[in-house]
Structure 1
Amino acid sequence: MKRSKYVQLSLAASVAMAISGCGPTEKTYPLQKKYNFQSVQQCVDEKLPVDVCSDAFMNAMAEHRRIAPVYDNQADCDADFVADWCQQDSTGKFIPKLGGFELTAKGEVTQSEVDAAAAQLPASEATTGGSGFSGGSLLTGLLIGNMLSNNRNSYYSEPVYRYRDDRGGFGSSTLAQRVEKGSTFTKSNQARYGSYTDTVRSANKSISVASSTSRGGFGSKASARSGWGGSSSSFGG
């Protein structure tokens, strides 16, 4: 009987110690921002990690080659994008030039990470703004840079293309954003074999899912620096 009470007391003490060791979880903040870059260097100038910028470029390039609309003639391609912006491929078809890449950073940061980042900034720029951060603040930029450096799976990228808007001005957008605004690309070859807009939407979903997979390393960084569009990885036009 004494042994049984001793065992019960020991178990109770162990549970109490385990509970006391589990303090309140640290507060976290959601963090998300979209960047639109015309080159890898422009991305690096924004203080984002160079390997992330290079990898985002390579991912956008691969997606461009996979899903960019293809046209039989330049006039149809120019009509959907910008005059003289389309180029002829090795098969004689026309595709829009890659105009840049959109990088979406998404994740969450802890209060200790916020405090550490804020300590690196002038007092006027170090406020956390309650439960969130303004998209253009230095604190947000620093937190995103740290997040991307520590977690290569917290972003994804898409190709960006130039186009003329309804008012005759120029804009840059992903294909998915164009589709959401009503573009159908009906003169593209892909549209002849089904709904190209559905293809774009499906591709956009797969890109988002791919953000949870591992990404390339030094090889893709080196390719981006010396790759398509010139040594500075800038895009045509």
Structure 2
Amino acid sequence: MKRSKYVQLSLAASVAMAISGCGPTEKTYELKKKYNFQSVQQCVDEKLPVDICADAYMTAMTEHRRIAPVYDNQADCDADFVPDWCQQDSAGKFIPKLGGFELSAEGEVTQSEVDAAKAQLPASEAMSSGGGFSNLLTGLLIGNMLSSNRNSYFSEPVYRYRDDRGSFGSSTLSQRVSTGSTFTKSNQARYGSYTDSIKSSSKPMSVASSTSRGGFGSKSSARSGWGGSSSSGG
């Protein structure tokens, strides 16, 4: 599986209008990028700050425990996700394992920050062939942005599933709902529309506001991966 399921980069250069009595402000660029990681280590390998990666993992785990569909039997759970991918919790119910986390970053960088990042890269890596930012430069800028602004990113749990063509993929629950998945056999659906509850909370949680800086446990445990006893129903 690719480390990054898909990446969206919106590079919009803008020059602010001159304010009366002042010169023009510095040129800025808007960056937007989505990563899909299976582990904290993959996130770190993408040159993102280790504390950001660890917090994003813990936020995804917290959300997983809150919103993962719960089923009375494994067959119903497997049908919505991947065969033999669901696990039994302490109450005897079945839930899908956490398959990773999606980290979405968005913010602005200045021309000075771009120039400083370019200086850290070989000249051949500074710009892409199309005149935009190369993947390496973009990753470095995103990493710097996340280090300086913890409110510029979000995290959601990701799950493995099999699509209509029999291929395996990874996606957030809100993305699954947007493409027509209903999870009607889940226990949550018995008490109302499970998809409505997902849609109402589809905006990812801010990692900075949802995760305690000192209370998520060791980074070594966060690096260990997914599934196992760390997941629970409900």
TM-score range, shorter chain: 0.7 to 0.9
Taking the aligned partners of 2:150 and 2:107, their CA distance within structure 1 comes to 11
Given that 2:114 and 2:141 are in contact with CA atoms closer than 8 Å, whether structure 1 keeps it comes out as yes
Where do 1:83-162 residues align within 5 Å? Answer: 83-127=83-127, 133=133, 137-162=135-160
Report whether the alignment pairs 1:60 with 2:51. no
Measured in 1, the distance between the counterparts of 2:128 and 2:113 equals 11
Matched, 1:196 2:194: yes
> Residues 59 and 158 of structure 1 are in contact (CA less than 8 Å); yes or no, is this contact kept in structure 2?
yes
**Is the Cα contact below 8 Å between 1:57 and 1:224 reproduced in 2?**
no
The Cα RMSD (Å) is: 2.2
Aligned to 1:76: 76
Give the aligned residue type for 1:216.
Answer: S
TM normalised by structure 1 equals 0.82
| Cα distance per residue 1:69-120 (max 9 Å; x no partner) | 0111111000000111111111111110001101111111111111111111
Identity %: 77
Question: Alpha-carbon deviations, 1:42-92, whole Å to 9, x = none?
Answer: 111111000000000000000000000011111100000011111111111
Q: Map 1:9-88; keep pairs closer than 5 Å.
A: 20=21, 22-88=22-88
Partner of residue 235 from structure 1, selected from 222, 226, 232: 226
Offset of residue 233 of structure 1 = 2.4
The total of aligned residue pairs comes to 210
CA distance in 2, matches of 1:150, 1:51: 12
Once the 2 structures are TM-superposed, how far is the Cα of residue 223 of structure 1 from its aligned partner? 3.8
In 2, Cα distance between equivalents of 1:214 and 1:81: 27
Distance 2:94 2:210 in 1: 33
* Larger Rg computed on CA atoms: 1
Q: Deviations over 1:144-177 (max 9, x none)?
A: 0100111111111000001111111111111011
Q: Which runs of 5+ in 2 are unaligned?
A: 1-18, 229-234
Q: TM-score, normalised by structure 2?
A: 0.83
